[in-house]
């Protein structure tokens, strides 16, 4: 099952002018600053984000999402602006149950599919279903991928810049996917959450990432951008994060308009 493309990452809000020249950090102080910002952002009880950019093969995309931890909820609406994925797509995660809006497609006259609380299960027709990747991508805090910058050999502090009128510090670097994967394994993240995104990039034929991260004065990630090249074109995605800690609400779709594709998994599965 393929994850909604823009659930991968990111949104606009171009950065403003940099201050003095690049400050390289051979002792990884820049990497530590980024990791502190990612940790603080992931600790936020809620946030909203917008993802915009371009994916190889799929063209331009945009997504708006929300994540909350108390209760744990998430939702993302994607618009495919060009290419084969033109159209709208929506995922919701409520009470551990994953839902997908099927757009113009319907099943038994209903617009939503429910996949139940388990990542792996047998569908009503007996098909083995594994929603692990799409469940992880839907419910993740989108600051997660900013941490990949710490795997770069050339991670550096660029300087002070403004993002949407807000003062930030800009960090940047370039890392191969192999380097990021090794870094994640060293941190005990394999097969962890970060590996899910790496597999998506690998499927696109991307082997190197240029990563920019903007950290606000509150110590949280305000924006991050990921660039690279795949077999069939450019990867260029930006995420803007906002509304940290503000109340969020995500409702399950109407039961009468939802097809439940799950059923209890066999013993020892799920």
Residues 10-25 pLDDT 10s: 222 233 333 434 444 4
Mean pLDDT, the chain, whole residue set: 82
Q: How far is CA 25 from CA 132, 157, 170, in A?
A: 37, 7, 13
266 domain residue, yes or no: no
179 domain residue, yes or no: yes
Q: How confident is the model at residue 263 (pLDDT cuts 50, 70, 90)?
A: low
CB 58 within 8 A of CB 5: yes
pLDDT of residue 188: 74
78 domain residue, yes or no: yes
Whether 228 shows a pLDDT value over 80: the answer reads yes
265 domain residue, yes or no: no
Strand 166-176 and strand 156-163: the pairing is: antiparallel
Residues 183-226 pLDDT 10s: 988 887 644 566 778 888 898 999 999 999 999 999 999 999 99
Q: What is the CATH number of the domain that holds 14?
A: 2.50.20.20
Percent of the chain past pLDDT 70, that is, above it, reads 81
Residues 124-157 pLDDT 10s: 777 888 888 888 888 889 999 999 999 999 999 9
In this prediction, residues 154-176 reach a mean pLDDT of: 95
68 domain residue, yes or no: yes
Global pTM reads: 0.82
45 Cβ contact partners less than 8 Å away, ≥ 6 residues apart: 68, 69, 70, 245
Q: Considering Cα of 130, then 111, then 86, then 97, what sign does the dihedral take?
A: negative
Whether 83 shows a pLDDT value over 60: the answer reads no
The residue segments making up the domain with residue 146 are 5-260
pLDDT of residue 223: 97
Residues 104-124 pLDDT 10s: 677 778 889 999 888 888 777
pLDDT of residue 267: 47
81 domain residue, yes or no: yes
In this prediction, residues 231-237 reach a mean pLDDT of: 92
Q: What is the DSSP string of 195-233?
A: HHHHHHHHHTT--EEEEEEEEETTSSEEEEEEEEEETTE
> What total number of domains does the chain contain?
1
Assigned token pair, 176 = 């191969």
């Amino acid at each position: 099952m393929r994850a909604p493309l823009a659930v991968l990452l990111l949104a606009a809000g171009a950065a403003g002018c940099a201050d003095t020249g690049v400050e390289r950090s051979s002792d990884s102080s820049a990497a530590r600053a980024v990791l502190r910002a990612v940790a603080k952002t992931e600790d936020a009880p809620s946030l909203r984000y917008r993802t915009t950019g371009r994916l190889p093969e799929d063209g331009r995309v945009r997504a708006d999402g929300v994540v909350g931890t108390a209760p744990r909820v998430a939702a993302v609406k994607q618009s495919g602006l060009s290419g084969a994925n033109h159209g709208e797509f929506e995922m919701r995660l409520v009470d551990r149950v994953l839902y997908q809006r099927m757009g113009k497609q319907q099943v038994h006259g209903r617009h939503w599919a429910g996949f139940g609380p388990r990542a792996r299960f047998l569908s009503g027709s007996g098909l083995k279903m594994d929603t692990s990747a799409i469940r992880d991508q839907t419910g993740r805090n989108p600051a997660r991928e900013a941490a990949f910058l710490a795997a770069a050999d050339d991670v550096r502090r660029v300087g002070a810049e403004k993002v949407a009128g807000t003062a930030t510090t800009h960090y940047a670097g370039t890392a191969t996917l192999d380097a990021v994967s090794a870094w994640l394994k060293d941190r005990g993240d394999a097969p962890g959450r970060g590996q899910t995104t790496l597999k998506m990039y690998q499927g696109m034929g991307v082997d190197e990432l240029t990563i920019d991260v903007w950290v606000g004065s509150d110590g949280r990630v305000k924006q991050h951008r990921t660039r690279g090249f795949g077999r069939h074109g450019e990867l260029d995605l930006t995420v803007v994060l906002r509304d940290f800690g503000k109340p969020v609400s995500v409702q399950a779709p109407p039961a009468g308009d939802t097809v439940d594709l799950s059923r209890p998994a066999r013993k020892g599965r799920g």
